Amino acid sequence: MTPTERILSALADRNCDPKRNGKGWSARCPAHEDRRPSLSVSEGDDGRALVRCHAGCTVDAICEAVGLRVADLMTDYPSTVSTSTKPRQPRKKGQFRRQDGGTPTGKTYPTAQDAVAALDKILAKDKGRRVAQWTYHNANGDPIAVVCRYDLPTPEGEKQGKTFRPVARRGDRWVIGGMRGPRSLYCLPDLAGADRVYITEGEKAADAARAIRLTATTSAHGSQSPDKTDWSPLAGKECVILPDHDEPGAKYADAVAAILAKLTPAPVVKVVHLSDLPDHGDMADWLEARTDADAGELRRQVEALAHETEAIQPDRPAARIERFQPFPTDALPEPIRGFVVAGAKAIGCDASYLALPMLSALAAAIGNTRRIQLKRGWSAPAIIWTAIVGESGTSKTPAFKLVIQPFRDRQRKALEAHAEAMKDYEADLAHYDKALSAWKRDKKTEEPPPTKPDPPYAARYLVQDTTVEALAQLLLSNPRGVLLAHDELAGWIGSFDRYAGGKGGADAAHWLSMHNGESIVVDRKTGNPPTIYVPQASVSVTGGIQPAILHRALGIEHRESGLAARLLLTCPPRKPKRWTEAHIDPDAQDELARLVDRLYDLQLAVDDKGDPCPVVLGLTRDAKAAWKEYYNHHAEEQTDLTGELSAAWSKLEEYAARLALVIHCVRWAADDANLDTPDAVDAASMKAGIELAQWFKAETRRVYALLSESDDDREQRRLIEWIERKGGAVTAREVQQGHRQYCTAQDAEAALGELAKAGCGQWHDAPPGPKGGRPSSVFRLSTATTSTQPARKRDSEGFVNVDSVDAPETQSDDDWGEL
């Protein structure tokens, strides 16, 4: 029985109803309550059974639900698990070494089997015998490489030699050679849904771990090149490294741990040394020495070791997290700038809490009516997704509501007008029904039947909680686009996975298309029409979310899909609330409402076929020069980034142009006398968009670092921010009295000492006071303070004379919330 036949038989035994579907099979997934066939089964080029649940269940869970091992899906497990406990020998002269490039034959092959067969012939010249092979897949489960092991003859009396040779896919063909970088991890599709992943040195050891139902992986092409592999799928997970029992194994573990420490969010990394391993032994040797124990007991032993092992603490103190930079309100045109500044003062929040929702809302008002053309074939829409991140009580909601109010007023008026239009429509419909009945009764009439009145449609500007199917129906009637405004964005992100049958994945894909203003097609099982086609789906998004919820909501699936990278973020340090008589001038609110109305006056153009289309705005010469300079500099930055930051940078590239488009249209609506021309984005608008994008880059880097903090990192950062608010210099006694984290002055002194070791500051002796006594030691931060408070005056004992300090009207920072 082949692996594919084995899994299909097991699914049929459990009433999962496997059926032929194209080149593969579909079935209900046994690992979750599945009403629809969300499980796909196909046969890989190497004969392996490829299994994928579109609702997100792991291969381990699927196999466990049908009583199989993951190894049962493979064709070569016996040869890959069985191994010798003999020590590994150094390579002899003339012996093959592991290599990425393979044999430079220059030939391509239609399938992996053909490429491996050609490799067999090449190695046969040296009497090499293929004894095992391992297939690598991309995130979609498609095979992309096969690594083969060959045993080679050696001089008489010497131990058996071996070599590893790869074949890899190039487009729709295969070559003898290694994967192009960055390489995929082994068993990549199984890693997405796992909380803990075991990392071995080599595929044989990884298969051994998988044989006892552990989620395991390794990097391709040996212990010398882990840095050529893309490890980002392990971000935020618990990673347990199982090193080989030799010096190369220890070096491999150290190298992998260093790579994992740089991921964002940082994974929890542990190195577990298996007991009683022979020299050069690995996970496969450990299993082979325990053939009398069942797989479940062996798995529990390894998991117990992982649970008991302490995580590696990376040397990444909180001082490395960048300080928050004030939002560049000067980049906003009037009257938006004045409204944001006044609103922030009235509410007592950071200006970014108003600026980000404002940018998304204004982009939605422009919608599909305008696009900015950067060059032939590249135009960008006015679609902006923003999220304001902060704990409860940080005034996210008041700021959000203040910005969205004119849009809600516009929506309310539109719905009221629709309600009146529906009354007229119902009256017209009654007249139509009466006239139609009379026409039918008159058998001799030659008059045509009466015309049925068309129902009015409701103009929609705002949506909150809606499915993609309902949203597509709204967009058909509102080709300009809409704004999704949700003061709790967790509800929007959660909606991707809320609906049964694995539909969440499809919803997420539709949202990725909507971010680019592309077409979407939604198939419905009920309703008329059965298929909804939206040629240009434009939806801007804005709302608030708490940091811990953001970290959980943007799981590995949404980070890998690029959804997280599309969100522009702000997470300013928390500020204590203080009463203020400041308020928003009603004239400023009216001016904002008039600006919004003017933006909604922008109309779509009509193409040659009579279909609505956006007006495409080019760049003036100076704007194009500014864009080219930004683009080149941004590209240089991105070359040094990996993982989530690299993904975010890829979206921030175009965001500069999108923001420039919004700035341009706002300046037009506000009758800016300095606007070069309404028909092209000028240099002033482009430079403003670039300035905003630069701020978002710094804030994205900072927020990603905050979300990946350890408990110790967070404690250090919060202490630094507290010291900054106190003027940058404190005594241990002040910390103990003002920072409740520390119960005694000794605890506070120890915490300040850790900051000193991390290079965040230094101890200084204060001079003795006029009455003598032992001078107090003062800790001073070595970084410039970001606090807006004046430096405090200290008396001769190093303590603060509170009578000499004027209380500021507001404070700039406070402790950032728990994650």
| DSSP result, 788-814 | -SPPPPB-TTS-B-GGG-PPPS--S--
CB 817 within 8 A of CB 574: yes
- Angstrom distances, CA of residue 554 to CA of 141, 491, 550, 707, 783: 22, 12, 6, 11, 33
Q: What is the C-alpha to C-alpha distance for residues 169 and 154, in angstroms, rounded to an integer?
A: 32
How much is the pLDDT for 780? Answer: 86
pLDDT of residue 55: 67
What pLDDT does 598 receive?
A: 96
Torsion of CA 690, 695, 698, 702, to 10 degrees: -150
| Spatial separation of the C-alpha atoms in residues 124 and 126, rounded to whole Å | 5
What does the pLDDT read at residue 84? 37
Scanning 85-164, the segments in alpha helix (DSSP H) are 112-124
The pLDDT, as a whole number, for residue 613 is 92
Q: What pLDDT, on a 0 to 100 scale, did the predictor assign at position 264?
A: 82
CA distances from 641 to 233, 312, 315, 701 (A): 15, 23, 19, 11
Instruction: With residue 680 as reference, give the H or E element that holds it.
Output: strand 680-681
The token duo for 215 is: 């989620």
CA distance 152 to 160: 7
Residues of the chain with pLDDT under 70: 33-35, 55-56, 75-106, 155-160, 313-322, 495-506, 554-561, 576, 709-710, 766-776, 783-819
